[in-house]
Amino acid sequence: MESVTHSNWDTVIGQERVKKILQTAIRHNRVAHAYLFWGNDGVGTESVALEFARTLLCEKQSAVSCGECSGCKKMAHLQHPNLKLIFPLPGGDADKPDDDSLENDVVDEVRRQISEKARNAYFHIEIPKAKFIRIKSIREIKKESSMSSAEAGKKVFVIFDADAMNDAAANSLLKILEEPLDDVHFLLTTSRKDALKQTIISRCQLVQCSMLTDDEIAAGLITREGQDETQARFVARLAGGSYTRALELLKDDLRTYRSDVVTFLRSALSASPAKIFDDHDEYISGKKRSEAENLLLMLHVWMRDAIVLREGSDAIFNIDQRGDLKSFVDKFSRSDLESCLSAVERALELLRRNVYLPLVMLSVTVNLRRILHAK
């Protein structure tokens, strides 16, 4: 894909309120020294931070970046000398000194992921084995923020996953935030605000990014990913307000999960509930949370379709599973399918909050069994 130069806030899906806040701050010359953009994974905290950085670094110095100046052109590749991206890297564990340099293959991976991020701001940088932001990265801020750089103008430090700072890194950043310098800005992002030190939060202007609507996600998938409307709407519904999740769902083959739903339900309702552990160990012992999440999403669609069918409507998603759905509805016509839907929703929520996977799967199984077998 060609890397394109974006000249305005269109790179950010939705988040109109946030865009307005930031543009107003620029227009009134009231840009804060530090911002914390927070919200669920994939709703666009990072794309907001990057677009804001682009606007601050644009030579035109207006509320909308021009897309044409040399600053904007450098930002299109995230290679502006006055921009520094900070994110978790390997070797940032608290008990290890991390002043060692990164291995060559890690450096290559970082470069690859940054260029992917430049193409798609909703791509989340995840370097293998990286859990923490290295204190070394924070110390470099201190050096670089006080140095006069080759390029005049503002300097912007963007810290993705700011909650991944250990105590030492957070304390080091706090000292920097306590001594604001003119023309130096910090843009932090997090999906786990509660995990950030209160002292850091209190130094930042808080900007909450809300969940995206299904319409916003679908429109993004159509215009950016070239999806047809049906597929875009289907994926948007499943994405839970996260565009990043929607992009992942596009990549996964959801058909497998859809057929697994039928056998999953069958085992869950069988005489021996332990059977589900034999039949669906791949989802339960949790090699991959995302696979379990896909299964639950398809289960959610299934229950929703069952309710729609029972109400006599035909507007179902799983058109090709109509036969199976019909017999399910006939068998459980008197069951509380709405409660089943809520049970699956609840499981998805727990999964996204990183609750222990086997526990989530076991509890959703027990709940569905209880609800569907109730007379």
Query: Measured from the CB atom, is 60 or 310 closer to Zn ion?
Result: 60
Per the listing, tokens 């806040």 go with 21
Least distance (Å) between residue 31 CB and Zn ion: 16
Question: Considering beta carbons, is residue 6 or 237 the nearer one to Zn ion?
Answer: 6
Check: CB of residue 232 under 8 Å from CB of residue 221.
yes
Least distance in angstroms from the C-beta of 278 to Zn ion: 60
Tell me the C-alpha distance between 39 and 16, whole Å: 14
**Closest approach of Zn ion to the CB of residue 74, in Å:** 10
Closest separation in Å from C-beta 71 to Zn ion? 5
Secondary structure of the chain in HEC code, one letter for each residue: CCCCCCCCHHHCCCCHHHHHHHHHHHHCCCCCCEEEEECCCCCCHHHHHHHHHHHHHCCCCCCCCCCCCHHHHHHHCCCCCCEEEECCECCCCCCCCCCCCCCHHHHHHHHHHHHHHHHCCCCCCCCCCCCEECHHHHHHHHHHHHCCCCCCCCEEEEECCHHHECHHHHHHHHHHHHCCCCCEEEEEEECCHHHCCHHHHCCCEEEECCCCCHHHHHHHHHHHHCCCHHHHHHHHHHCCCCHHHHHHHHHCCHHHHHHHHHHHHHHHCCCCCCHHHHHCHHHHCCCCHHHHHHHHHHHHHHHHHHHHHHCCCCCCCCHHHHHHHHHHHHHCCCCCHHHHHHHHHHHHHHHHCCCCHHHHHHHHHHHHHHHHHCC
Smallest gap from residue 67 Cβ to Zn ion (A): 6
* Of residues 82 and 321, the one with the C-beta less far from Zn ion: 82
User: Shortest approach of Zn ion to residue 82 CB, angstroms?
Assistant: 13
182 CB neighbour count, 10 Å cutoff: 6
Exposed / middle / buried, residue 67 (Cβ in 10 Å: 0-12, 13-18, 19+): middle
Distance of closest approach, residue 328 Cβ to Zn ion, in angstroms: 57
Residue 153 CB, nearest approach to Zn ion (Å): 11
Q: Which residues bind Zn ion (CB under 5 A)?
A: 58, 65-66, 69, 72
Closer by beta carbon to Zn ion, 48 or else 72? 72
